[in-house]
Amino acid sequence: MENAYIKLVPNSNVQQISLDDVKDLFSYYTEITGKTGKQLNWEYDNAAFPYQIKEINHEKHWFYLKSDHQKYKAIIVGVGQEKIVDENGENTDQSYIQVTLPEISTAGDKGKANEFCKFLAKKLEGELHLFNGRVMYFYKRK
C-alpha cells in the first residue's frame, strides 16, 4: 500500500476536517469538471471522476472510491489527527487527509489519486506529502 497525506498546517484555510467535508470537496470537484465538460461538449465529469463513494465509515474515519472502469479499481480516503510539536515547542494536534492506494489499485488510480490530492491540498491550502515522498506546499508561506 502507498500513502499520500494532505496536512492542515496553521496557514491552511481550515484546521479541522471531517469525512463529510472531504465528500463535499469531491462533489464540488465533479461539479466543476462537469461544467468543463459542458463547455467542451464532452462528458468530462465521468472521465475526471470515474468513481463512486462507497462504505463511508464514520467510526473509523475513512471511505473508499470504487470504479467499474477497466483502468481504475479503488482508492481509500481517510481523515485523522496526529500530535506534533509546533514552532513554539508546544504539543498540538494537526488534522490530515490520508489517501491510500490498496494492493488492487492500478497505475490509473495512482494518477487520479495524485490529481485528487493536489486538488484537495490547493482548496484547503495544505501541505501535500506525495506517494513518492516529495512535499508540495499550497499554503501562503511567510
| pLDDT tens digits for range 16-71 | 999 889 999 999 998 888 888 788 877 776 778 889 888 766 677 889 899 988 89
> What's the rounded Cα separation, in Å, for the pair 53 and 111?
18
Look-up: residue for cell 467535508? 21
- Mean pLDDT along residues 92-101: 93
> What's the rounded Cα separation, in Å, for the pair 10 and 79?
17
Residue 136 predicted with pLDDT over 90: yes
> What's the rounded Cα separation, in Å, for the pair 107 and 111?
6
> Does residue 101 sit in helix, strand or coil?
strand
The number of domains in the chain is: 1
Q: For residue 42, what pLDDT is reported? A: 76
Q: Could you tell me if residue 107 is inside a domain?
A: yes
Q: Could you tell me if residue 27 is inside a domain?
A: yes
Report DSSP letters for 45-67, one per residue. HHHH---EEEEEETTTTEEEEE-
Q: Could you tell me if residue 55 is inside a domain?
A: yes
With cut-offs at 50, 70 and 90, classify the pLDDT of residue 128.
very high
Q: For residue 132, what pLDDT is reported? A: 94
- The residue range of the domain holding 94 is 2-137
Q: What percent of the chain has pLDDT over 70?
A: 96
Q: Could you tell me if residue 142 is inside a domain?
A: no
Average pLDDT, the chain: 89
Residue 120: CATH number of its domain: 3.30.310.120
